[in-house]
Amino acid sequence: MAEFDGRTVLITGGGSGIGLATARTLLGSGARVAIAGRDPRRLSEAADELGAGDRLLTVPTDVSDPDAVTRLMNAVLTWSGLLHGVFVNAGVAVFGPASSVSDDDYDLVTNTNVRGAFHTVQRALPLLSEGGSIVLNGSWLAHRGLAATPVYAAGKAAVINLARSMAADLGPRGIRINAVSPGYIVTDMFLGIAKSSEEQEACRRQVPLGRLGAPEDVAQAVSFLLSPRSSYITGQEILVDGGLIPAT
Ligand code: NDP
């Protein structure tokens, strides 16, 4: 029997990058997976690639809209009844020093990464079975003070602390909540920031393990935190960064 047989997991931002790799990993371990994101075409291409038939549900959703998150949970409830895991992964990055951050960019980043994460957790709770597990996607940047990342880094620190604070609340209900914090992972988001091969090489050189991360590297950590193998771990953060944080 596969590890996730009979378990249902919701992944926001599941149509690309780290979310898509996690969907692939969990489907490969027997899970039923619901993926959500804003772009229906991206979700449908992901569904074609995953080829999981009725073990996959796609739900177009903008997580920055609380009512849309409620509709997402209703769709999952109708499809599956219960949830065993949630990967709160949807995110956007807009970088620039504080003086250059427009109000629109501030709202986009914060409403997606922080408000969206909070509402996803809050509205998933009634569906989560005892033994359920929530994983939030943070970032190594939550631990660094770079001039170009004030809004993104502040939001990701909030997300990690959401996991820490909610662990105390959810523990007595048998629900765990943790965070993963990726380093440099090659996805559309990373390639949109480190655009040139020189910039990508400069990132790689900072990583003690000598390579940029793949989405699958993060998916493995998420799969562990969603599984019973981590049943005594809650309120924690796993850095999946090739040693970047200890070394810089
Ligand atoms: P991607 O851009 O591939 O993935 C982001 C996903 O989030 C997309 O599928 C996007 O889909 C979805 N998304 C964005 N906004 C919303 C929204 N409002 N509602 C619903 N879905 C949304 O990049 P990654 O896979 O790299 O990013 C995944 C997570 O990992 C993010 O939270 C990011 O901050 C984090 N991270 C990534 C790092 C990296 O180096 N790649 C490093 C540290 C953290 P759509 O556009 O269709 O909505």
ipTM of this complex: 0.99
| Mean pLDDT score of the chain | 98
How do the residues of the chain divide into helix, strand and coil, expressed in percent and rounded to 5? 55, 20, 30
Three-class SS state of 123: helix
Position 55, amino acid: R
Burial of 108 (0-12, 13-18, 19+ CB in 10 A): middle
Ligand 1, residues 16, 180, 239: which to mutate, most atoms within 8 A of Cβ?
A: 16
Gap between the Cα atoms of 132 and 142, Å rounded: 26
Gap between the Cα atoms of 6 and 8, Å rounded: 7
- How does pLDDT run across 138-168, given as a tens digit for each residue? 999 999 999 999 999 999 999 999 999 999 9
Instruction: Output the pLDDT for position 141.
Output: 98
Ligand 1, residues 35, 38, 123: which to mutate, most atoms within 8 A of Cβ?
A: 38
- The answer to whether 136 and 158 have CB atoms below 8 angstroms apart is no
Residue 183 banded pLDDT, cuts 50, 70, 90:
very high
Three-class SS state of 231: coil
Per residue, what are the HEC states of 32-79?
A: EEEEEECCHHHHHHHHHHHCCHHHEEEEECCCCCHHHHHHHHHHHHHH
Tell whether ligand 1 has an atom less than 6 A from the beta carbon of residue 226. Answer: no
User: 106, 152, 184, 232: which is the annotated catalytic residue?
Assistant: 152
Task: Read off the tokens for 14.
Answer: 């599941």
Cα 34 to Cα 30, 44, 91, distances in angstroms: 13, 12, 17
Instruction: Output the pLDDT for position 76.
Output: 98
pLDDT mean over 29-47: 98
- Calculate Rg over the CA atoms of the chain: 17
Q: What is the pTM of this model?
A: 0.99
Annotation says 152 is catalytic = yes
